[in-house]
Structure 1
Amino acid sequence: MAGKPADYRDVHIGSLIEERRLRAGLSREALATPLDVSLSQLGKYLKGANRLSATDLDILARVLGVPVGFFFESMPGRDPPQPGLSDRPQARLEALADWTGFAQAVARAADTHLDEDRRQALGSLVRAVDHALSGQQPFDKANDSGPSD
């Protein structure tokens, strides 16, 4: 059974692949070889006459050094993306009023769920962030004289 016929989306994707190929200075053979297709078939993909499979699109994205989503981001006629579950608005950290409660919750979670090495690593990270936010220089073993003024 044949797949769906190619349409304007396939033309768009093909033109982006060709554009990225030229920018990267790659030959058509460099794209056809990993796909295991002839140059003629690659030409049909680049013109949008034939539809690429998801697997082939993934291969081309890797060869061209772009994420697969690159081919869809500027798709004509596409509605702007709506926030997904992972894109819900986040509260700004400085807007959190009860930092002490937050710090206590993190400490309790670390004590409950982390081994000693990971607790130490988390403590080092928190101290580094605290130093960075307060403008202090972090302690450096090579320079143990403390921060310079």
Structure 2
Amino acid sequence: MAGQKTDQRDVYVGQRIAEQRRKASLTQRRVAESFGMSAAQLQKYEKGTNRISAIHLDIFSRMTGVPLEYFFQGAPRLDDVHQDGFAEGRQQPYAAETDLQNLAEVMAQRVGEHLPESLRRDIAAAAQAFSRKLGG
């Protein structure tokens, strides 16, 4: 898959593919033909140089009678590595001693950033009424 950098997981899956291909007495040429590609491309999958598509892995799984899960069992995990992406930054831990103050600050910031002035005034008035009812 063009543009995607491979990592140790691709190498691991590729090794499992090669292992199962040999166990099933299949040649690289035979498997590659069923994928509609060259044996050289299959070799890149087996070495982890290129990432195999889910479709090709499914075809291979059916050819060998090995469940898809097999190829990922015991694979290295990268959960603890921070991956840059489109998500917001990591959330800060919630401080137990000031939970409600933190919540109020976060809510005030979000309200201030995302709601129109008239609605912000209504929310502030409701908060003041709430404070008066509680004796604050």
Q: TM-score range by the shorter chain?
A: 0.5 to 0.7
Q: Distance in 1 between matches of 2:71 and 2:35?
A: 17
Deviation at 1:11, TM superposition (A): 0.4
1:48 aligns with 2:48: yes
CA RMSD after TM alignment: 1.9
Q: How does 1:1-149 map to 2 (within 5 A)?
A: 2-77=2-77
Q: Normalization by structure 2: what TM-score?
A: 0.53
Name the CA distance, whole Å, in 2 between partners of 1:2 and 1:39. Answer: 18
Identity among equivalent pairs (%): 46
Tell me the SS of whatever aligns to 1:73.
coil
Q: Distance in 2 between matches of 1:72 and 1:78?
A: 13
Higher gyration radius (CA): 2
Deviation at 1:30, TM superposition (A): 1.9
Gaps of 5+ in 2: 80-136
If asked which structure has higher relative contact order (CA below 8 Å, sep 6+), I would say: 2
Runs of 4+ in 1 over 3 A off after TM superposition: none
* Mapped partners of 2:26, 2:65: distance in 1: 12
Alpha-carbon distance in structure 1 between the residues aligned to 2:68 and 2:29: 20
Map Cα deviations across residues 107-144 of structure 1 (whole Å, 9 max, x no partner).
xxxxxxxxxxxxxxxxxxxxxxxxxxxxxxxxxxxxxx
Cα gap change, 1:4 to 1:73, in 2 (>3 Å): same
Q: Secondary structure at the match of 2:72?
A: helix
User: SS of 1:49's equivalent?
Assistant: coil
TM superposition shift of 1:77: 3.5
Counting matched residue pairs gives 79
Kindly state the Cα deviation for residue 78 of structure 1 after the two structures are TM-superposed: 7.1
Alpha-carbon distance in structure 2 between the residues aligned to 1:23 and 1:2:
29
- 2 CA distance for matches of 1:72 and 1:56? 15
Tell me, which stretches of 5 or more residues in structure 1 are unaligned?
A: 80-149
Distance 1:78 1:4, change over 3 A: closer
Aligned equivalent of 2:83? none
- Rounded to whole Å, the distance in 2 between the matches of 1:14 and 1:53 is 12
